Amino acid sequence: MTLEDEQDIQRECEALSISYARAVDFRDYDEFVLLFAEDGVLDVGKPLEGRAAIKAAMGKRSDKLRSRHVLSNIFTDVQDEQNARGISYLTLYRHIGEESLSGDAIDFSGPAAVGHYEDKFVLTDTGWCFASRKLHFAFRNEQQF
């Protein structure tokens, strides 16, 4: 594998993390589920195995929940041509309530949580996907959950 190949994989995996944040925050759940391999696992407290389980869980997400996932320190370690591992830091802003149904700005007191995602990426027939994504909180405002 060339350095250019490795950098391409890193960019594609970074783009997956960014797409994840955009899709979940703007409720594009059809796109969201396609970021995962068919047998991919999403663990944000309770492991969801496979696209069907992930899609079902996202469909239960309340319309009264407004979130913004701010990602930083995105790092990808390419294992080989078909596998990579990564980490990205998360600062999570969220609000649950009727105010989330409007397009207006909502008053808030700070982040709901800070943590990181631990990722495994896999190359599939349709491109790079999450094989697994696990959330680890370092700080959490229990009133926001």
CATH code of 86's domain: 3.10.450.50
Domain that holds residue 77: 3-144
CA distances to 23, 67, 106 from 97, in Å: 20, 12, 10
3-state secondary structure at position 130: strand
What are the pLDDT digits (tens) for 10-46?
999 999 999 999 999 999 999 999 999 999 999 999 9
What are the pLDDT digits (tens) for 70-82?
999 999 999 999 9
> How many distinct structural domains can be found in the chain?
1
Say which residue, 24 or 96, is predicted with more confidence.
Answer: 24
pTM: 0.93
3-state secondary structure at position 138: strand
122 beta partners: 83, 129
Q: What letter does residue 46 receive in the DSSP assignment? A: S
